[in-house]
Amino acid sequence: MTIAGLLSLVLACAEAPSPAASPTTAVVLTPIEYEGELVEAFRDRIEAQMRAGLERSEYTVFDAGAAPGVPAYRVHARLGVDDRNYRLQLSVDDANGVSVAQIDRTCELCGIQEVAEMVANEAAALAGDLGARVRALPLLTIESQPSGATIELDGRAAGQTPASLRVPVGRHRARAQLSGHFDQEVEIDAFAGLNQTIALRLVPRPVPPTPEQRRRAAMGPVGAVVLVLGGGALASGAVLLALDERPLRSQCSGADIDAFGNCRQLYDTLAGGVALTVTGAISAAVGSALLGLAYGKRHPRRRGARR
């Protein structure tokens, strides 16, 4: 079995998908390091088979200089050769650069077949250790209301809610972002072997008024003022109409009284009363209309039924 196949086995065992786990589908393959004399053709074969083996798994393989855009494991391999003595070093780092599994074994006076067997045995042990470490990681399930919010965990994109994420033990900071809502950020303490569900309720942002709403809102105060002035004008006009042709009591004496005892000095307020009454009525109507436009309910226009 080649080193490429064994590393593929390590990653497949370590990241076997489960319903609760947050899958990691990207692997960054760093160049294999060689120490000692090794035939160039054998090196090319190892590198080609390593990539081919990883691409047959569930992972997308990237070169060391590429940016997967998602959390990815980094696979490192070193093969030391000293005549018939070999030293194999394999390690896997998580997305934070923390080594999560590694082996370091030697095989003295070994042939190629013995080296392959050593790699197979140690890779199997490495896979078991990595799988145990991954299963022991805390599981955070982040939900939001409404759902579909973009999640950042410790400053890195982590998908959309609802999301289930395996995280290292310790304190983490999660941020939920959704268009039209205020961001929400929380701190979470993650403990080994503990599954936690974090429920976030996102508060909608106030919707700014439309130009039409602002125009209608401005009509309210104007309509109220016009209505009050119109009411005052109506009241004044009514008073003037009531006074018209009535005697002016303060001047009803002496020569201002005719032979029949009627006062010659009378109020002449008909024109003023009519003018104020008409003006007040118009103003009251205009004010009422403005108030209706500002505060009345608007009903959508009914479209004619299609034939």
CA–CA distance, 225 with 236 (Å, rounded to integer): 17
- 236/191 same-domain check: no
Q: Which of 36-45, 76-85, 89-98, 142-151 has the highest mean pLDDT?
A: 142-151
- 41/131 same-domain check: yes
Q: Is 75 a domain residue?
A: yes
Domain boundary among 79, 111, 136: 136
CA–CA distance, 35 with 78 (Å, rounded to integer): 8
Q: Which residue has the higher pLDDT, 213 or 239?
A: 239
- 183/234 same-domain check: no
Candidates 73, 76, 129; CA nearest to 96 is: 73
Q: Is 302 a domain residue?
A: no
CA–CA distance, 63 with 303 (Å, rounded to integer): 61
- 25/129 same-domain check: yes
- 53/110 same-domain check: yes
Please give the residue range of the domain that contains residue 146.
Answer: 139-201
CA–CA distance, 50 with 3 (Å, rounded to integer): 7
Q: Inform me whether the pLDDT recorded for 176 exceeds 90.
A: yes
What is the secondary structure of 195-248 as a DSSP string? EEEEEEEPPBPPPPPPHHHHHHHHHHHHHHHHHHHHHHHHHHHHHHHHHTT-B-
**Per-residue pLDDT tens over the stretch 225-266:** 888 888 888 888 888 888 887 887 777 777 777 777 788 778
- In sequence order, the 6+-apart residues with CB closer than 8 A to the CB of 47 are 4, 31, 32
- 131/222 same-domain check: no
Q: Which residue has the higher pLDDT, 149 or 14?
A: 149
CATH number for the domain spanning 167: value is: 2.60.40.1120
pLDDT-derived band of residue 288, with 50, 70 and 90 as boundaries? confident
> 125: alpha, beta or left, given left = phi > 0 and alpha = psi -120 to 50?
alpha
Residue 271: its pLDDT value, please? Answer: 86
Domain boundary among 183, 201, 219: 201
